[in-house]
Structure 1
Amino acid sequence: MNIDKANFGERVRSIRLSLGMSQEEFGLKMENKKRKENPANKAIVSSWERGISVPNPYRLKTISKLGGITVDELLYGSIEEFISRVAIEEIDRLEQERIKNGDRMLTPSIKKVWLEQVITAELETEKNSTAPFDYAEIAESVKRYLSAMDDFAYLMPSEAAEAVKANNLSSKELLHRVAPLADPKTYEEIIQHYDSIDDLLPKLEQ
């Protein structure tokens, strides 16, 4: 996964400032004589904060502990920031694929809906999970989600219904994939009132 080094540097700087430390003082916290880890001098800390370089794994762990966050949060930001960045990058990639293949372009409204829906869906999934956040797994989930939405982006509702039958999708999976087909109010109504695939299909076939 790519690291936004500028944002990473800002997080390192924010942690240091929250501790009231100079760059020299912060660098001293990197020392571990048992592990033969030397302190980081001011120039090294400055290079982290300016997004020029990224610390080694031990130092990343040390900085994350100082900040009271995980290493993934230090590297990639909050879970919502991470999902949003991965989603934007993946939507851009899917659009480039469409251009390359001569397919119909994605409209701004569809891209907006996709971004909102994938963020909401992934945050809800993580909220209901008892396992620690796995950023690599979340990134793959976002990409699968958007790939599925891309496959269904321009299906008519009746075609979407047939696709549901053929692929044995759940109602929630279908809702996420065909979100751009309905206006937001209708989509929200479907989410609230249509829980089973049997109830959902007639709605799509209208």
Structure 2
Amino acid sequence: MNSKKDQVDKSLLGKRIKNIRQAAALNMAEFGELILGANKGLVSKWEKGSSIPGYERLKKIAELGGTSVEELLSIESMRGVPPFNFSLEELNVLEKVIIKALEEEHSEAFRKSLISSLEKINIRRVELQDSTN
């Protein structure tokens, strides 16, 4: 059973997404339509922190919010939050998002942060796999 603490990272991202939607004065269905045709159920999952949007959708969300994917996923603004308490499936999605972000132009500091995040994902993946064996 996941504790509330296990959901913190996803909850912060969800709150950011909800803030962007509300700032745009859109309901979930309208927002989802702008985010590559996502249905309102999926938007609700993002906002609740139970699902993470894929990279292309993150780009659209960031664009709508007048920010960047870099800022939307900013590790710096999550200081003090236990990192990477995700399931294996969620780690895989997050890893794909980070790898896709590394393919784009970013500051050296952000690239180092992304690489550090990938290392933490791999450590967490091993911990999860060890706990299931």
TM-score computed with the length of structure 2 as normaliser = 0.55
Give 1:132's match in structure 2, choosing from 107, 113, 120: 107
Partner Cα distance (1:4, 1:40) in 2: 22
Tell me, yes or no, if structure 1 residue 15 matches structure 2 residue 13: no
Deviations 1:113-168 (A, max 9, x none): xxxxxxxxxxxxxxxxxx7364351474xxxxxxxxxxxxxxxxxxxxxxxxxxxx
Asked if 2 retains the 8 angstrom alpha-carbon contact of 1:4 and 1:76, the reply is no
Structure 1 residues 138, 67: CA separation in 2 closer, same or farther (over 3 Å shift)? Answer: same
What is the CA distance between 1:53 and its match in structure 2?
A: 0.3
Partner Cα distance (2:49, 2:113) in 1: 24
Deviations 1:11-50 (A, max 9, x none): 000000000000000001023xxxxxxx111100000000
What residue ranges of structure 2 are gaps of 5+ in the alignment?
A: 1-7, 84-105, 117-133
TM-score computed with the length of structure 1 as normaliser = 0.37
Partner Cα distance (1:10, 1:133) in 2: 27
1:51 match: 49
1:30 match: 35
Identity over aligned residues, as a percent?
Answer: 36
Structure 1 residues 7, 133: CA separation in 2 closer, same or farther (over 3 Å shift)? Answer: farther
Partner Cα distance (1:62, 1:132) in 2: 20
Partner Cα distance (1:133, 1:12) in 2: 26
Deviations 1:152-192 (A, max 9, x none): xxxxxxxxxxxxxxxxxxxxxxxxxxxxxxxxxxxxxxxxx
What residue ranges of structure 1 are gaps of 5+ in the alignment?
A: 32-38, 90-130, 141-206
The alignment partner of 1:20 has SS state of: coil
Structure 1 segments, 4+ long, off by >3 Å, are 133-136
Give 1:70's match in structure 2, choosing from 58, 68, 71: 68
Larger Rg: 1
Partner Cα distance (2:59, 2:32) in 1: 14
**Which structure's relative contact order is higher, taking Cα pairs within 8 Å and 6+ residues apart?**
2
* Number of positions where the alignment pairs a residue of Structure 1 with one of Structure 2: 86
Structure 1 residues 15, 133: CA separation in 2 closer, same or farther (over 3 Å shift)? Answer: farther
Q: Structure 1 counterpart of 2:112, which letter?
A: E
